[in-house]
């Protein structure tokens, strides 16, 4: 300890405390509750992908530092994936960068592209690392609140436009959206794109749930909209798509100048990560379309099971069109404070959930919303649903 009165943690991080995910997972462990808080699957992804990682380890591929931009096999596979699914062409050598999960891609993008004093317009509620990384870059976040209407959370396009000022440097977008489960519509995305072009803004778009869209909906990458290819940093991750969240393999696709900038920051964060897993993910990205279709169908059935259980328990349930998550409103249960509700839930029902208010600057706007993860085995969800029924009284 230093004897000075100055706090040890620097000012930009002081407001953030411990991430809600660590806090709530610890609460689940301590109370023996079912953890529907932190979003991670409770079963591993495809056996052949796990075996690919074992093979890479045994063959000595990736056991030493991989190349800074990522192994060529993975960069090529990422480019092929973007081409096959979305018709987006990226050069694996100059337009793809492998990162330590999407988390590092977000951090490196924001640290690379922002100057102190810049403003970043982000959709609120936002994934918690966005706020921390904007703060570490010395920039200022300007939240635009997604509001529920007709069963889903919507982007108010006038509010979005009004949030942009002369100091705005970039728009930080996330679709499919954590925690609300909303998937931005073509109209919403087109408006984001038009605004970015009109005001000459950079866009960082977090699309880690690109394969988790339900009810036959289609994921629309922002980079496919007119004028966006050159100004957009698109972030993906293997964690969600292949159910290996511990491997931490993510990537960025963008124009060469943007990738070079992001790599400049990334090289001083981890330099490189996840060597053998990069080879395994390269194979995973080439899995046939049936893998993605089966994965989506399985997750959609889990979503439906949990959504109907939550409805029976008395929650208002918003449509989850994508992601691992369902957002609920607790007011029909006679509650209004999501924090207090989530703190009491292990005791009341043996379940852990996340209070959405942590993802808001306007805490009041998020107070009554609570997020539940459905990326769990069916029997676990069934047990959770049974337990939650006790809330209905
Ligand atoms: N972005 C969003 C929206 C997320 O939900 C998450 C976490 N699941 C991440 C980024 C981080 O992804 P990764 O585990 O690949 O770092
Ligand atoms: N993305 C996961 C979630 O939203 C958690 C990741 C983390 O723990 N940082 O639950």
DSSP states of 259-299 as a string? HHHHHHHHTTTTSS--HHHHHHHHHHHTS-HHHHHHHHHHH
Contact partners, residue 393, CB within 8 Å, separation at least 6: 314
Asked if residue 178 has its Cβ within 6 Å of ligand 2, the reply is yes
> Which ligand approaches the C-alpha of residue 39 most closely?
2
Which tens digit of pLDDT belongs to each residue from 307-357?
A: 999 999 999 999 999 999 999 999 999 999 999 999 999 999 999 999 999
What pLDDT, on the 0 to 100 scale, is given for residue 192? 98
Q: For residue 195, what is the enclosing H or E element?
A: helix 186-198
Give dist(CA 209, CA 198) in Å, integer.
28
Give dist(CA 105, CA 266) in Å, integer.
8
Give the Å distance between the CA of 207 and the centre of ligand 1.
Answer: 9
What pLDDT, on the 0 to 100 scale, is given for residue 155? 97
Give the Å distance between the CA of 357 and the centre of ligand 1.
Answer: 18
**Nearest of 215, 194, 173 to residue 321 by alpha carbon:** 215
3 state SS of 172: strand
Report the residue among 19, 23, 36, 38 best suited for mutation to probe ligand 2: largest number of ligand atoms under 8 A from its CB.
38
Over the range 136-174, which residues count as b (16 or more CB within 10 Å of their CB) and which as e?
A: bbebbbbbbbbebeeebbbbebeebeebbeeebbbbbbb
Considering only CA atoms, which residue is closest to atom 8 of ligand 2?
21
What pLDDT, on the 0 to 100 scale, is given for residue 1? 55
What pLDDT, on the 0 to 100 scale, is given for residue 4? 75
- Residues in contact with ligand 1 by the CB-under-6-Å rule are 39, 101-103, 127, 174, 178, 206, 208, 237, 239, 245, 248, 250
Please give the chain's pLDDT, 393 residues, in tens.
Answer: 566 789 899 988 988 888 899 989 999 999 999 999 999 999 999 999 999 999 999 999 999 999 999 999 999 999 999 999 999 999 999 999 999 999 999 999 999 999 999 999 999 999 999 999 999 999 999 999 999 999 999 999 999 999 999 999 999 999 999 999 999 999 999 999 999 999 999 999 999 999 999 999 999 999 999 999 999 999 999 999 999 999 999 999 999 999 999 999 999 999 999 999 999 999 999 999 999 999 999 999 999 999 999 999 999 999 999 999 999 999 999 999 999 999 999 999 999 999 999 999 999 999 999 999 999 999 999 999 999 999 987
Number of the ligand 1 atom closest to the C-alpha atom of 105:
16
> Measured at the alpha carbon of residue 285, what is the angle toward residues 378 and 234, in degrees to the nearest 5?
95
Residue 6 tokens read as: 């100055």
Give dist(CA 330, CA 369) in Å, integer.
6
Give the Å distance between the CA of 249 and the centre of ligand 2.
Answer: 14
What pLDDT, on the 0 to 100 scale, is given for residue 5? 86
- N-term to C-term CA, the chain: 51
Give the Å distance between the CA of 132 and the centre of ligand 1.
Answer: 14
Strand pairing class (34-35; 351-352): parallel
Mean pLDDT (the chain) is 96
What pLDDT, on the 0 to 100 scale, is given for residue 117? 96
Give the Å distance between the CA of 41 and the centre of ligand 1.
Answer: 13
Decide if 122 contacts 257 (C-beta within 8 A): no
Decide if 92 contacts 63 (C-beta within 8 A): no
Decide if 76 contacts 283 (C-beta within 8 A): no
Residue 55 tokens read as: 């093979």
Give dist(CA 384, CA 310) in Å, integer.
9
Give dist(CA 378, CA 375) in Å, integer.
9
Which tens digit of pLDDT belongs to each residue from 46-62?
A: 999 999 999 999 999 99
What pLDDT, on the 0 to 100 scale, is given for residue 122? 98
Give the Å distance between the CA of 292 and the centre of ligand 2.
Answer: 21
Positions of E strands within 184-335? 202-206, 232-237, 250-253, 316-317, 325-329
Give dist(CA 182, CA 176) in Å, integer.
6
Asked if residue 39 has its Cβ within 6 Å of ligand 2, the reply is yes
């Amino acid at each position: 300890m230093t004897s000075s009165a100055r706090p040890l943690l620097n000012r930009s991080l002081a407001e953030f405390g411990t991430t809600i995910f660590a806090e709530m997972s610890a609460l689940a462990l301590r109370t023996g509750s079912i953890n529907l808080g932190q979003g991670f699957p409770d079963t591993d992804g495809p056996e052949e992908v796990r075996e690919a990682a074992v093979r890479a380890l045994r063959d000595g591929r990736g056991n030493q530092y991989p190349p800074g931009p990522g192994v060529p096999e993975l960069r090529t596979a990422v480019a092929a994936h973007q081409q096959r699914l979305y018709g987006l062409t990226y050069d694996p050598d100059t337009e793809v960068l492998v990162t330590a999960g999407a988390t590092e891609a977000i951090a490196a993008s924001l640290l690379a592209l922002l100057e102190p004093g810049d403003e970043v317009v982000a959709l609120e509620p936002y994934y918690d690392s966005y706020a921390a990384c904007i703060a570490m870059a010395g920039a200022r976040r300007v939240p635009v609140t997604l509001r529920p209407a007709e069963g889903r959370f919507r982007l108010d396009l006038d509010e979005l436009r009004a949030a942009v000022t002369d100091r705005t440097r970039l728009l930080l977008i996330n679709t499919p959206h954590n925690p609300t489960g909303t998937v931005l519509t073509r109209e919403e995305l087109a408006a984001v794109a038009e605004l970015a072009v009109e005001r000459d803004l950079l866009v960082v778009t977090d699309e880690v749930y690109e394969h988790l869209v339900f009810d036959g909906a289609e994921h629309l990458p922002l980079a496919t909209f007119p004028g966006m290819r050159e100004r957009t940093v698109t972030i993906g991750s293997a964690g969600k798509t292949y159910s290996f969240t511990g491997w931490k393999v993510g990537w960025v696709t963008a124009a060469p100048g943007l990738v070079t900038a992001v790599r400049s920051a990334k090289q001083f964060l981890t330099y490189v990560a996840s060597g053998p897993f990069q080879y395994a993910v390269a194979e995973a990205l080439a899995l046939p379309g049936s893998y993605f279709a089966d994965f989506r169908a399985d997750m959609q059935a889990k979503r439906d099971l949990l959504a109907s259980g939550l409805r029976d328990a008395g929650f208002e349930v918003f449509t989850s069109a994508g992601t691992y998550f369902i957002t609920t409103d607790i007011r029909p249960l006679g509650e209004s404070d999501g924090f207090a509700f989530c703190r009491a839930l292990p005791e009341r029902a043996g379940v852990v959930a996340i209070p959405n208010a942590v993802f808001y600057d306007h805490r009041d706007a998020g107070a009554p919303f609570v997020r539940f993860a459905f990326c769990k085995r069916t029997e676990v969800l069934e047990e959770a649903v049974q337990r939650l029924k006790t809330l209905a009284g």
